[in-house]
Amino acid sequence: MLTIKQILDNKEAVIRGLEKKHFAGARETIEQVLALDNKRKEAQAQLDNLLSQVKTISKSIGGMMKEGKKEEAAAAKQQVAEIKEQTKELEESMKTALDERTQILYTIPNVPYDEVPEGRDASDNVVVKEGGKLIDLPENPLPHWELAKKYNLIDFDLGVKITGAGFPVYIGQGARLQRALINFFLDEARAAGYTEIMPPTVVNAASGYGTGQLPDKEGQMYHCEEDDLYLIPTAEVPVTNIYRDEILDEKDLPIKNCAYTECFRREAGSYGKDVRGLNRLHEFSKIEIVRIDTPEHSKQSHQEMLDHVEGLLRKLELPYHILLLCGGDMSFTSSVCYDFEVYSEAQKRWLEVSSVSNFDTYQANRLQCRYRNADKKINLCHTLNGSALALPRILAALLENFQAPEGIRIPKALQPYMGTDMIK
C-alpha cells in the first residue's frame, strides 16, 4: 500500500496517478487518509504532553512525602490517576484513527509510473515490440480444442465430469507436453540465476493482504471458509510472502526466486468464445519468477525479467508482441506492467501468456519487507514478478501454430523434454 510519506511528499502527483488508474474519488480518499493521519498526530501530541506531565508530577510526589506534605502528595497522585485515564482515551483514539487509515489505504491502488500511458482499457495499451514470425498454416487450421480431441491430448468433458468447467484433464502426449513445458521453463529460470521454490498452494489471509490480492480480488479467489485459507491465484503470493516481516541485507539483493505451482482463479463473470478450451481456466499450471530488490536496481531487474520472458518465446518459435499497459488496464498493485501475447492463427487473436510487473514499494509496505543498507539505514524493498510462463495459452498456441497434415510439430527447444519432434 502507499506510504503516508509518499502521500505527504507528493500529494498532487499521487492523486494524478490514481486518476490515471481511474480510481474513483481519488482526491476525496487521499484527503480522508490525511485527515485521519492528522487526527492520529494530534492525539499523539496530546498524549506526549500528558505523559510529560505525569513524569513531572510523579517526580514531585517523592519530595512532598519527604517534606510531610501528605495531602498535597495525595492530590498529586489523584491528578496522575486522572491524567492516566485521559491517556487511555487518547491511545484508543490513536489506535482507531490508525486502523481506519490502514483500512482505507488497503483500498487505494498503487500509483503508476510516469511512463505508463493514459487509457481506460486494453484497447489503449501500447505495442512496444514485436517478435517471431507468423506461421503459414494449412487452409482452415483447427483451434486447439479440436486438435486436442483429434490427437487425444486434452479431455474437457472429463474435467467437467470430475470437477466442472475450466478444469481440463491432460492425457498421454498432452500431459507429456505440459510436463515438458514445466521442466523447460524451470530449467531456463535456474540457468538465469533463479532459485527454485516449492511453496504451498494455499495461503492465509495475511499473505493475501501482503501481496494485494486481498481485499481487491477476494471474489476471484477460492476460499476455504472453515480454515480461512485461500487457494493461490499465482505463485507470486506464497513466494513473495517468504519475505514478509523480514529485514534483508542489501548485499544479498536482488533475491531471485522461481516456482512452479498450480494456480486457481474463479474467473467469475467470464463467458463466450474467449473462454473456450484453454483460453481461460479455473485451474492451470504456471511458472512464476519473483525478485526482491533495491529501489536503485529494480528498473534493471524489471528489464532483465522482460528479456527472460522474451527469450522463452523466441526459443518456442512463437510469434509474439509486448504491450505496455495503460493506466486503466493495469493491476491494482503494479506501478508498471508489460504483457506478452502470442498470436493464434487458428483463432485469429492474441493470447496473453505473461505479465511482468514492478510494484515499487507498494507490496513491500504491506509486507514490511525491508533491507538494511551499508549505512545501517532500513528502507522498503521493491518487489517484482512475472509469468515465465503460464502454460494453458502457450500450449494452445503451440498446438495451433505448429499443426501440420502429418501432426503437430514440437519446437526444437522442447524436443529433448518431449522425446519426439512430432505429435502424430
What ranges do the domains of the chain cover?
4-106, 122-423
Question: Beta-strand (E) ranges in 265-411?
Answer: 283-293, 320-324, 336-344, 349-358, 370-372, 378-380, 382-390, 403-404, 407-409
275 is in an annotated binding site: no
Q: What is the pLDDT of residue 160?
A: 96
Q: Would you place residue 136 in the very low, low, confident or very high pLDDT band (cuts 50, 70, 90)?
A: confident
Highest-scoring range by mean pLDDT, 44-48, 257-261, 342-346: 257-261
Lowest mean pLDDT of 155-169, 218-232, 269-283, name the range.
269-283
Beta bridge partners of 339: 323, 355
In the three-class reduction of DSSP (H, G, I as helix; E, B as strand; rest coil), residue 203 is classed as strand
Please say if the pLDDT value at position 374 is more than 60. yes
265 marked as part of a ligand binding site: yes
Q: Which residues pair with 321 in a beta bridge?
A: 130, 341
Instruction: Look at 63-77, 84-98, 142-156, 396-410 and tell me which has the smallest mean pLDDT.
Output: 63-77
Tell whether residue 373 is among the known ligand binding residues: no
266 annotated ligand binder = yes
- The DSSP symbol for 277 reads T
267 is in an annotated binding site: yes
Confidence at 272, pLDDT banded by 50, 70, 90: low
Q: Give me the pLDDT at residue 346, please.
A: 87
Quote the CA–CA distance of 128 and 350 in Å, as a whole number: 15
Average the pLDDT over 50-71 and give the result.
82
Query: What's the pLDDT at 273?
Result: 54
Q: Which three cell numbers stand for residue 186?
A: 524451470
The answer to whether 234 is annotated as binding is: yes
> Does position 108 have pLDDT exceeding 70, yes or no?
yes
Residue 148, CA distances (Å) to 172, 275, 401 in order: 11, 16, 13
Instruction: Count other C-beta atoms under 10 Å from residue 251's C-beta.
Output: 9
DSSP element (H, E) containing 160: helix 156-162
Percent of the chain topping pLDDT 90: 83
Residue 288 assigned ligand-binding role: yes
CATH class of this structure's domain 122-423: alpha beta
Q: What per-residue confidence (pLDDT) applies to 328? A: 97
- Residue 11 above 70 pLDDT? yes
Measure CA 393 to chain center.
20
- The pLDDT of residue 59 is 80
C-beta neighbour count of 226 within 10 angstroms:
6
Is 353 assigned to a binding site?
A: yes
Residues 205-215, mean pLDDT to the nearest whole number = 95
pLDDT above 70 (res 383): yes
pLDDT at 392: 96
Cell numbers for 138: 494449412
Under the banding of pLDDT at 50, 70 and 90, the label for residue 173 is: very high
Please determine, for residue 113, whether its predicted confidence score (pLDDT) is greater than 80: yes
Give the model's pLDDT for residue 268.
Answer: 63
Q: What does pTM read for this prediction? A: 0.92
pLDDT at 56: 87
Q: Which secondary structure element, helix H or strand E, spans residue 186, and what is its range?
A: helix 173-191
What span, in angstroms and rounded, lies between the C-alpha atoms of 409 and 33? 57
| Cell representation of residue 232 | 493461490
Question: What residues pair up with 352 in beta bridges, in sequence order?
Answer: 341
- Residue found by looking up cell 501454430 in the block: 401
Give the mean model confidence (pLDDT) for residues 359-376.
97
Correct CATH for 4-106 of 2.60.40, 1.10.287, 3.30.1420, 1.10.10: 1.10.287
Confidence (pLDDT) at 274: 67
52 pLDDT tier (thresholds 50, 70, 90): confident
What's the rounded Cα separation, in Å, for the pair 214 and 99?
16
Model confidence at 67, pLDDT cuts 50, 70, 90, reads confident
Is the backbone of residue 17 left (phi > 0), alpha (psi -120 to 50) or beta? alpha
Is pLDDT of 20 > 80? yes
- Which is nearest to 252 in space by CA: 199, 209, 195, 170? 195
Band the pLDDT of 55: cuts 50, 70, 90: confident
